[in-house]
Amino acid sequence: MSTAVLYDEPGPKARRRSLIGTVVAVVAFAVILYLGYRRLEERGQFDSDLWYPLLNPTDPQFRLVWERLAEGLMATLVAAALAIVFSLTIGTVLGVGRLMLGRLGRIPLVAGIELFRGLPVIVTIFYVYALKNHFKADISWLPGEDGLWYLVLGLTIYNSVIIAEILRAGVNSLPSGQAEAGLAIGLTPRQTMVAIQLPQAFRTMLPALISQLVVILKDTSLVAVLGLYTELLRRGNLISQVLDNPLQVLFVVALIFILINYGLSRLATFAERRLSTRTAGAPATTSAVPGAGAATGL
């Protein structure tokens, strides 16, 4: 007897139709890949001369190409690191403010959050650039080139409001008894938020936060469209213009992004498992302390 609750167990005809659909989809995908391969081969995209500057250490341009790619990667990581730090800091302040301010005090904050959530990141970056030029703001005192800060500020504006919403969701998901317990022992609402609710919200939403950090890293490539900052993608475009092999260079750039983002995704999975293990072990430790049940019976 089937134990399925949310769906009906497929019968023989449904399974057969599913199998036929899967086979047709696989065959169609294989045909598309083959046609793409043939088209690229006809255009000579697999010629060794196009790949040697990237893959053959004996090629005279190999070292210079990878030095330039390393410079682009470092520029991407610097911009992403700055945007992550600023986004986490400002996002936490915004999230706490939205939770603790009164109804009237939240109105401008909510309006700003909803506004910047709805703007594409590349538009936000462009607005930062346009406003800086319009008001002739001097940012030469900041380290690095101006394009770095256009990118960092644009990413920070967008991602800080996203992180604020993630933290707000994490705090709201906590049992109401957490805040009540803090107030019962004499903590102020602010102390309760900082000492009790925020740490638990961070732990609960850590996988979502790390996933957002992956988004920040990927979004650094958007500035290549505007040409304001020479990060990894723009550096790859410049290299491909010199070598006349855009497909090969951008393929390598894509692999670099995939490897970094995969590492961050694995970090999110590890953090989630580690926190789950620690959380699962907490009740056993508490129950082993004499009188713990009476002490925690709020």
pTM across the whole model: 0.79
From first to last of its 298 residues, the chain has per-residue pLDDT tens of 444 455 567 788 888 888 899 999 999 999 999 898 888 888 888 888 889 999 999 999 999 999 999 999 999 999 999 999 999 999 999 988 888 887 787 888 888 888 888 889 999 999 999 988 888 887 778 887 888 999 999 999 999 999 999 988 888 888 888 888 888 888 888 888 888 888 888 888 888 888 888 889 999 998 888 888 889 999 999 999 999 889 999 999 999 999 998 888 888 778 777 766 765 555 443 333 334 333 333 3
The phi, psi pair for 194, rounded to 5°, reads: -75, -40
- The span from the CA of 6 to the CA of 247, in Å, is 45
Query: What burial letters (b/e) apply to 106-133, b meaning 16+ CB within 10 Å?
Result: eeebeeebeebeeeebbebbbbbbeebe
- The span from the CA of 270 to the CA of 274, in Å, is 6
- The span from the CA of 69 to the CA of 233, in Å, is 9
The domain covering 54-276 belongs, at the CATH homologous superfamily level, to MetI-like (1.10.3720.10)
For 69, residues 6+ apart whose C-beta sits below 8 A from its C-beta are: 232, 235, 236, 239, 252, 253, 256
- Cα angle 93, 211, 219; round to 5: 85
Query: Residue 195 carries which DSSP code?
Result: I
Neighbouring CB atoms inside 10 A of 194's CB total 14
Instruction: Return the SS3 of 102.
Output: coil
Pair 43, 247: CB distance under 8 Å: no
Q: How does DSSP assign 257-268, residue by residue? A: HHHHHHHHHHHH
Nearest alpha-carbon partner for 212 in 274, 149, 169, 275: 169
